[in-house]
Amino acid sequence: MNSVFVRMAIYVLSPLLTMLAGLLGGWGVSYDAASHMLTINVEAVIAAAVAAAGLSGAIFARWGVR
């Protein structure tokens, strides 16, 4: 596989993987089955989005320029 395709895949998937790792770890989202309540901690979700954007920007800064 060409290295350009690998870099583009990492660049596209890194924000999704970062957000998914944070949300699956209980970082910002919790569910109470007894009361059927989904609780979202907005600050934690925003922090996960910023971390995802930072990771994506770091990949672009490393490999996105000539």
What are 4-52's pLDDT values in tens digits? Answer: 787 778 777 877 777 777 666 667 777 888 999 988 888 877 887 787 7
**Contacting residues for 20 by C-beta, under 8 A, at least 6 apart:** none
> What pLDDT is attached to residue 22?
67
pLDDT at 34: 92
pTM: 0.58
Q: Structural domain boundaries of the chain?
A: 3-63
pLDDT reported for residue 9: 81
